[in-house]
Amino acid sequence: MTDTTKTQPATRGLIPLPEAAARGLLLAGGIATAASAFLAWTWTSAFPGDLTINGYPGGLQWLTFTAGLLTTLFALALYGVRGLGWLLPARNNAPLALTALGGFGTTWFTVIAISNKLGGVVNLEPGGWIAAIASLLPVIGAFALHQQGVGEGSVKESIKAYLTKPDSIPAAQPLTPWLERAVITLVTILGLGVFTYGIDTEYGELFIGYLIVVAFSLWALNTAGLNDRFSRLVAHNRSFTLAMGFLAAIAFPFTQTDDHYANIGVNILIFGTVALGLNIVVGLAGLLDLGYVAFLGVGAYTAALVSGSEFSRFSGVQFPFWAAALTGAAASLIFGVLIGAPTLRLRGDYLAIVTLGFGEIFRIAVNNMDGDSGPDITNGPNGIPSIPDLNFFGFNLGQSHDIGGFTLGRFANYYLLMVLIMAIVVLVYTRAADSRIGRSWIAIREDETAATAMGINGFRVKLIAFALGASLAGLAGTVSAHVTYSVVPTPYQFAGSTPPNSAFLLAAVVLGGMGTVAGPILGAALLYLLPEKLVFLQDKSLLAFGIALILLMRFRPEGIIANRRQQLEFHETGQLAVPEQTTLTDEPATATKAGA
Amino acid sequence: MSTMTTPVLEARNVTMRFGGLTAVRSVDFTVNSGEIVGLIGPNGAGKTTFFNCLTGLYVPTEGTVSYKGTVLPPKPHLVTQAGIARTFQNIRLFANMTVLENVLVGRHTRTKEGLWSALLRGPGFKKAEKASEERAMELLEFIGLAHKRDHLARNLPYGEQRKLEIARAMASEPGLLLLDEPTAGMNPQETRATEELVFAIRDKGIAVLLIEHDMRFVFNLSDRVAVLVQGEKLVEGTSEVVQADERVIAAYLGEPFEGEPGEAEAAEVAAAEAEAAAPSTTSTKGEGQ
């Protein structure tokens, strides 16, 4: 599929049209799709986002506009317009087909949602019909492009030929160092923008449309080879990219006017931090831990007990935060060692079952330590409420502060604290992974017998992984206790419909990509946002996740962000690096989830 | 070199029972420094079980194994720490690690940097990492895989995987290297190259104990050969002694019929087979020409 269609007279399109007509359809359709966003699609503002205004897009129309614009850009690149060649280095059809499908998907989803919500297609203005037809044109155009491998097998194989990434992407011209950094900065800003838009989506329909567009666009960029090129830039500027990533993370609360979204942000960070800790245990050392959320609970309870809350067993005690954080991490570490020492002698499935049991033991024990059924420590099912807000040198995290014209609310303050904790955890993770101990974890995961024959004390090394993962989760738990005002036993269970729980944590790691830094964070963000945004799924969300996970494991078993090792498997040169940012990734998973 | 007689490995009275089955029965066995010793025997003779007893993967039911005079604890990582490294019959590389990383894992026992030093990244850590990498690269040069340092181990061709496994074992700076069927599945050229490699390893002052089915390979290489049959050590001696031993031939080819074709004839056949014995045994590769 790497060849351009011009040089291959034998190739043909799936839809029999002349090549010139197919290209024309693509360009015209892309422009028409983008333009149709400026029309009124419905007559009433009862549908959220107000799609009734001619001349200015609203809500979901922006997504159609974006998809149309991307299709147009790719189509222009296909025509060979100067200055756009970098968009399509391999001159392949896949990016066109994918962006066209993205525009088609989001537009038709909107039109169907309007008809569904308002009760019939009569509610569509002519603009809605025009948009639906306009978004169909580039899809027809894309699948009429001449493509090698079409017509040889079944229709399914032909479609697959259109969507496959070519084997080799021509190497990019080397950029000057400052230009490389400029590109990374730009991509980071873009990534922050896209991410912020997703968090700020106000209603479920908009979030689904957003997922469709983002998933297809990222998939398109990946098949165009831009993902690989960006990874290479990142590999040259590893620390710069990391710094930009954290700057972007810090910048997030300053872009928010509503503290509710900062609350979502801080919860994603807590969830992501814990997932990253679990990634050490599961992704690096290969130990399947199904009771990991207990360590988050240990950290949270410890912090609550020494927070000075009047409901705490030690109500007179109030540790400063640094001491509370260290105590929480240390308590989790001790629990990690206590649970790990007897269980880590087991392998595989047996370990999973035992950790599952220990996770439940924690929750049940905490539930019963109320003075009646057990010693009075945790206040039983009532938990420990009224945990006071943190105070750093007179800067009370519980109050709003004005900084440089921006108002930072309570959750924004905690968000920034959590960014700091996340930075520590990322540092710990990357440094531990790239060292003697990290190599021995991976060796244990690959082949425990061979690893011990190489002189690795398997039990000791696994215990270190377990304890380190536990203490990182405990650290995150200390912040989470303050963010949520109270700690209760219920969230620390194996499976539930909202994160964090052990099943969700594991899903975040596996979905995002085991053994990577960005993977679990992205997975955590997705798994937190989906139940948060798709309220209508509520009681079926677990079912939806199950389906999504099965689909993901079928089509992309390595997770959304592939590990460097899996990338090396396909590229013999060994030049590749871990994509650091969550901005350029291949995301078919989100597409399936949006549909589920 | 065979005149030196400092024992590196001494197995005394090693017995291994699995329930009612005795896989290895009171084997006494010694490898001296600078020696290449072969261990042969028909399939199921208990060679690999004996190997696993030596390397701590199995705890022998009876008997002791000592390395340079100290009795080894039956824990694989402590055995490696003491100075015995091994390879596996069916290659057990860390498939998803790079060639270099595989060798670096082999350095585990000779480096000390723990979690704290990895997290703090002091000058000591960087120095140790650099030294490890240099040592690993030396070994890769030695086996001729330096140019493939960043390839995944799983993507190497079979012969190179075998070599890499040897390099990984050598990274632990052993005094004794145990090779479990190093030429299994190799073509004649690769077998010859492995022969050279084993000699080169011995020239580095590392004693080698190898299990093999390729008789030509074993008898070419070994200073001494021990034959294990049904868990018991049958014969031990130089290649010539072992090749001439009737019991060995019987073990591989079966007992001659008692009396049937006549004693004299049987002896004649046995004598003829003694000369041809080596290349006509169980192994199917690299021989028969």
d(C-alpha B227, C-alpha B164), whole Å: 28
Q: Which residue has the tokens 């072969």?
A: B38
Quick one: pLDDT band at residue B258, thresholds 50, 70, 90? low
DSSP annotation of B95 reads T
Mean pLDDT of B32-48: 90
Token duo for residue A285: 């050392």
What local confidence, expressed as pLDDT, does residue A593 receive? 32
Burial (CB count <10 Å: 0-12, 13-18, 19+), residue A42: buried
Inter-residue contact A14 to A143 (CB < 8 Å): yes
Mean pLDDT of B253-272: 64
Q: Over pLDDT 70: what percentage of chain A? A: 92
Distance of CA A194 to the CA centre of its chain: 12
Percent of chain A predicted with pLDDT > 90 = 43
**Mean pLDDT within B18-24:** 90
Residue A451 predicted with pLDDT over 90: yes
Tokens of A580: 């650091």
Judged against a pLDDT cut of 90, whether residue A403 lies above it is answered with: no
DSSP B83: T
User: What is the structure's pLDDT at A257?
Assistant: 81
**Could you give the C-alpha distances from A21 to A29, A155, A283, A417, B211, in angstroms and in order?**
11, 21, 49, 56, 70
Closest to A464 in 3D by CA, of A433, A492, A494 = A433
Q: How far apart are CA A201 and CA B112, in angstroms?
A: 51
pLDDT of residue B259: 52
Confidence class of residue A567 from pLDDT cuts 50, 70 and 90? Answer: low
At residue B263, the pLDDT reads 61
pLDDT at res. A561: 81
A573 to each of A577, B63, B149, B177, how far by Cα in Å? 11, 50, 11, 32
The ipTM is 0.84
Contacts of residue A169, defined as CB under 8 A and 6 or more positions apart, other chains included, come to: A89, A90, A225, A228, A229
**Which of A450, A455, A572 lies closest to B109 in CB terms?**
A455
Contact A569 B154 (CB under 8 A): yes
| Chain A residue numbers touching B101 (CB-CB < 8 A) | 439, 442
> What single letter denotes the amino acid at residue A28?
A
* pLDDT tens digits, one per residue of A341-387: 988 888 878 889 999 999 999 999 999 988 888 888 888 888 898 88
- Chain B closest-CA separation from residue A94 CA (Å): 29
If you count residue pairs, one on A and one on B, with CB atoms under 8 Å apart, how many are there? 113
pLDDT tens figures, A114-155: 998 888 888 888 889 999 999 999 999 998 888 877 777 788
Indicate the pLDDT class of residue B92, thresholds 50, 70 and 90: very high
Q: How far is B53 from B65, CA to CA, in rounded Å? A: 8
Taking CA–CA distances from A568, the nearest residue in chain B reads: B152
> Confidence class of residue A527 from pLDDT cuts 50, 70 and 90?
confident
Q: What pLDDT score does B254 carry?
A: 72
Q: Which of residues 6-65 of B touch A (CB under 8 A)?
A: 55, 57
Residue B287 has pLDDT above 70, yes or no: no
B111, amino acid identity: T
Residue in A333, A437, A440, A454 to test binding to B, most B beta-carbons within 10 Å: A454
In the block, residue with structure tokens 């990383």 = B101
What is the reported pLDDT for B277?
56
Interval B110-136: pLDDT, tens: 988 888 888 988 888 999 999 999 999
Sign of CA dihedral A127, A132, A135, A140: negative
Does A230 have pLDDT greater than 60?
A: yes
User: What is the rounded average pLDDT for all residues in chain A?
Assistant: 85
Contact (CB, 8 A) for A286 and A438:
no
- When pLDDT is averaged across residues A440-459 and rounded to a whole number, the result is 93
User: Which residue in A437, A453, A566 is closest to B76 by CB distance?
Assistant: A453
Lowest mean pLDDT among A162-171, A274-283, A298-307: A162-171
- Lookup result for tokens 């001729």: B144
CB A472, CB A428: distance < 8 Å: yes
Q: Say if residue A537's pLDDT is above 80.
A: no
pLDDT for the residue numbered A596: 29
Angle, CA A241 vertex, CA A237 and CA A242 arms, to 5°: 120
* pLDDT band at B257; cut points 50, 70, 90: low
Q: Which residues of A touch B154 (CB under 8 A)?
A: 569
- Calculate what percentage of chain B has a pLDDT beyond 70: 88
On chain A, the residues whose CB falls within 8 A of the CB of B108 are 436, 439-440, 454-456
Helices (H), A200-284: 204-224, 226-236, 238-251, 259-279
B150-189 residues touching A, CB cutoff 8 A: 150-152, 154-155, 168-169, 172
Which residues in chain A have Cβ-Cβ distances shorter than 8 Å to B128? 436
- Residue (of B51, B55, B68, B49) closest to B9 by Cα position: B68
What percentage of chain B exceeds 90 in pLDDT? 52
Determine the distance in angstroms separating the CA of A202 from the nearest CA of chain B, rounded to an integer. 41
**What local confidence, expressed as pLDDT, does residue A155 receive?**
81
Per-residue confidence band for A10, with pLDDT thresholds at 50, 70 and 90: low
Spatial CA neighbour of B178 closest among B272, B15, B37? B37
Mean pLDDT, chain B, rounded, equals 86
Mean pLDDT of the A17-41 span:
90
Instruction: Choose between B170 and A202: higher pLDDT.
Output: B170
Q: Does A239 touch chain B (CB under 8 A)?
A: no
Mean pLDDT, residues A507-536? 87
A483 closest CA partner among A424, A400, A410: A410
Residue of A nearest to B109 (CA): A455
Predicted pLDDT at A183: 92
Domain range summary for chain A, segments of one domain joined by +: 19-232, 268-397+409-515
Rg (CA), chain B: 21
Nearest by Cα to A460 from A326, A593, A540, A340: A340
Entry pTM: 0.84
pLDDT of B253 over the 80 cut: no
Residue B286 has pLDDT above 50, yes or no: no
A533: confidence class by pLDDT, cuts 50, 70, 90: confident
Q: Is B87 helix (H, G, I), strand (E, B) or coil?
A: coil
